[in-house]
Structure 1
Amino acid sequence: MPVPPPTPPERPPELSGEAALALKVSPPDDTACRVRLKRLGVEFESLSPIAEGQCTAPLPLKVTKLADGIALPGGATLTCQVAESFARWATEVQVAADRTLKHPLTGLELGGTYVCRGQNHDVDAKLSDHAFAAAVDVMGFTFAGRAGIPVKAMPAGSEEAEFLASIRTKACGFFRTVLGPGSNAAHANHFHLDERERNAGHRLCE
């Protein structure tokens, strides 16, 4: 006679019924990240957890200024990890502004940070990293003593084109996804920056 398979152990009571439904995953501890943000000269405040259907961010921050007083009109709702990458990239943008334009950067014009939506605003697409406060769209840059520069295709050889190309390349060192003019029609007027995880650490830098 065949031996019956062993009976599986009973499910622990804390993982059964209503007890299982009450279980909550603790959000990651971002205390060290917040300390680094302050050391970088970033001004921010804590926001309430975001839970809008599948769009979630357990520990969002509202970032209002970056190092050197670089303004973010309206603020940026981001996770600490993305805010840190954004702040570190902005220091490179300041360097490029001083070197290429000879005028200091004073602000970044943003098109969106947290938004509960699909990729490229497609309702049938999988959720964008914006839906997790893990992405930022940069529409343009403002400076002291000269006109601002919008993110768009610029005349070849111009200092505006050189500046945008330089900071776009720098962004690829801080973010896993960098899209902008020339990537596709949806990104013709802004830089999209996010930290989406991909297989084998692959980065999308276009």
Structure 2
Amino acid sequence: PPERPADLPSGPAPGPATVVPDDTACLRRLERLGVKAEPVAPLSDGLCGAMKPLRVTELPDGVALAPAATLTCTAAEALARWSTEVRVIGERTLGKAPQTFRIGGSYECRGQNHDPSAKLSEHAYANGIDVMGFTLDGRSPIAVGASREGTPEAAFEAAVRGRACGFFRTVLGPGSDPAHANHLHLDERERPAGHRLCQ
């Protein structure tokens, strides 16, 4: 075969885990939004990882994450902006704004739907988060997928899920497939032509 041209880089192309983003403007926006987040050490596990992850503990208006989430700045900003809409929808449909988002997972080096043979999940790049439910003062916690149809809780869940599609590139939840029956999976996976997956 012909020799490799000298001007072409050798070795594998950098993946999401090795590209170093400039998060300066994003971090300033998080600060203005009132998000509590601190930088953590770069994550690297084979093809998984993130160069500038954040440990996010609190969203705007004092909304807590339980437990804290490890996310890229882009994903953290999407979560923060969505959370302000969640609070408004909570006030309108339930008479109360959620005080805590119950988190099922953020960064984790794994394939999609926990399938080791599948392509890597956005969780593997700290670019996705699973929201299991919400807690509100003076009300029973709301678990995703557990509310009876026709109840205010079901209306709240449907509305916040719909609004998530305006902030995240991927939104999956109950009814999408069995793997997402009990949580909302939200991520910032980039697709050609800005395509979004909202199911």
- Measured after TM superposition, the shift of residue 153 of structure 1 is 4.6
Query: Where do 5+ consecutive residues of structure 2 fail to align?
Result: none
Instruction: Report what 2:158 is aligned to.
Output: 165
Aligned residue runs from structure 1 range 125-164, under 5 A: 125-164=118-157
What is the TM-score with the length of structure 2 in the denominator? 0.91
Q: Which has the larger radius of gyration?
A: 1
SS at match of 1:34: helix
Encode CA deviations 1:93-146: one digit per residue, 9 max, x unaligned. Answer: 000111110012110000000000000000000000000000000000001111
Q: Percent identity?
A: 57
SS in 2 for 1:105: coil
C-alpha separation between the residues in 1 aligned to 2:103 and 2:176? 19
Instruction: Report if the CA contact (8 A) 1:63-1:83 is conserved.
Output: yes
CA distance in 1, matches of 2:174, 2:4: 57
RMSD: 2.2
The alpha-carbon distance between structure 1 residues 10 and 102, as it changes in their structure 2 partners (threshold 3 A), is closer
- Write the mapping of 1:19-98 to structure 2, written as runs, cut at 5 A: 27-98=20-91
Distance in 2 between the 1:138 and 1:168 partners? 10
Distance 2:36 2:194 in 1: 30
Question: CA distance change for structure 1 residues 161 and 11 in 2, over 3 Å: closer, same or farther?
Answer: same
Q: How many angstroms does 1:74 deviate by?
A: 2.4
- 4+ residue runs over 3 A deviation: 8-12
Normalised by the length of structure 1, the TM-score is 0.88
Is 1:11 the counterpart of 2:9? The answer is no
1:190 and 1:61 map into 2 onto residues whose CA distance is 22
CA–CA distance in 2 between the matches of 1:32 and 1:200? 24
**TM-superposed deviation, 1:154:** 2.5
Q: Which amino acid aligns with 1:181?
A: P
Tell me the distance in 1 between the aligned counterparts of 2:121 and 2:82: 21
Whole-Å separation in 1 of the counterparts to 2:152 and 2:94: 7
8 Å Cα contact 2:86-2:97 kept in structure 1: no
Asked whether the equivalents of residues 69 and 106 of structure 2 are also in contact (C-alpha less than 8 Å), the reply is yes
Q: What's 2:194 paired with?
A: 201
The residue that corresponds to 1:3 in the other structure is: none
Q: Show the counterpart of 2:181.
A: 188
CA distance 1:10–1:160, change in 2 (3 Å): closer
Distance 1:98 1:116 in 2: 36
Residues 107-126 of structure 1 mapped to structure 2, 5 A cutoff: 107-126=100-119
Could you tell me which residue of structure 2 aligns to residue 5 of structure 1?
none
Distance (whole Å) between structure 2 residues aligned to residue 72 and residue 26 of structure 1: 27
